[in-house]
Amino acid sequence: MKALILASGKGERLRPLTETTNKGMLLVAGKPVLEHIVENCIRHGIIDFVFAVGIKKEQVKDYFRDSKSYELPGRTVRAYFAYAESDRIENTAGEIAKARQFLASEQDFLFHYGDALTNLDIAACFAFHKKTGAAITSPGMKEVYTESGIYVCAGDGKVKSFHEKPFVNDLAEMPGIFSNVPVYWINGSVLESPNVAFGKDFNADVVPGFVAQGKVSVYYQKGLWHLDVGDLKKYRAICEAFESGHQAQLRKLA
């Protein structure tokens, strides 16, 4: 099985850091963001990778090259890298289309956004994906953390209670509602979708059609955390969390 990892983003909200550095090559705890993603994949048995690269692509290629060795408990694993290249951003579904030649023979493949750091158990998620027979499976989070304090008011506007940046599910029972984490197990048949095309968005253009067919599943993992390296504020918070080992305290930062 292969993992397709997006590494084409401009990282405009991370300027000035990304003026000279590929977004995925920004360091978190001394390692590029992409390296953290690769290592989590390797821990769960994936050793073949395709990077969808564009802007500042040479930085990714020079770092990972064709292969690289990784130390796991009791063994050394060799991982292999290929590159789906262009000089522009093709949007997320377009990045899959760009990599189609590398994925055509795969029964299933992992699709991982290159700015999403997570402790997802990729192997367990894959087992769930196969069990449900879904075309697309993504982890979901119930523990959605708000970035603002929340007032609970009566009809006359009087405040009944105040909650400082709570988890949403602490405020209301929302059975069946999950927050998206941008890591997906995708069946190879999805590559035949006409919306897997340049300029198309995976979540906006591809996923809804498969939802309508009942072919999308959500995998729930207790204690899951997802941190999106999206802007300078989040990047600094993520660096501090990794340095202190407190990633789980942030839980959802996207």
Residue 40 is inside which H or E element, if any? helix 33-43
pLDDT for residue 81:
98
Residue 61 CB-density burial (10 A; 0-12 exposed, 13-18 middle, 19+ buried): middle
Same domain, 205 and 248: yes
Domain holding 168, by residue range, is 143-177
d(CA 99, CA 104): 9
> Which of 122, 153, 177 is the endpoint of a domain?
177
pLDDT (tens digit per residue) in 19-53: 999 999 999 999 999 999 999 999 999 999 999 99
Same domain, 110 and 229: yes
Number of domains comprising the chain: 2
Same domain, 39 and 124: yes
| Phi-psi domain of 11 (left: phi exceeds 0; alpha: psi -120 through 50; beta: other) | left
Same domain, 51 and 171: no
Same domain, 24 and 107: yes
> Given CA atoms 103, 106, 112, 114 in this order, what sign does their dihedral have?
negative
Answer yes or no: are the C-beta atoms of 176 and 101 closer than 8 Å. Answer: no
d(CA 71, CA 152): 50
Same domain, 26 and 93: yes
Same domain, 95 and 151: no
Q: 172 pLDDT exceeds 70?
A: no
Please report, for the domain that includes residue 235, its CATH number: 3.90.550.10
Same domain, 162 and 102: no
Same domain, 164 and 60: no
Same domain, 113 and 161: no
d(CA 249, CA 241): 8
Same domain, 77 and 115: yes
Global pTM value = 0.88
Same domain, 131 and 219: yes
pLDDT (tens digit per residue) in 177-229: 567 789 999 999 999 999 999 999 999 899 999 998 989 998 989 889 999 99
What is the token pair recorded at 114?
A: 């290159």
Can you give the three-state secondary structure of 182-250, one letter per residue? CEEEEEHHHHHCCCCCCCCCHHHHHHHHHHHCCCEEEEECCCCCEEECCCHHHHHHHHHHHHHCCHHHH
pLDDT (tens digit per residue) in 101-131: 999 999 999 999 999 999 999 999 999 999 9
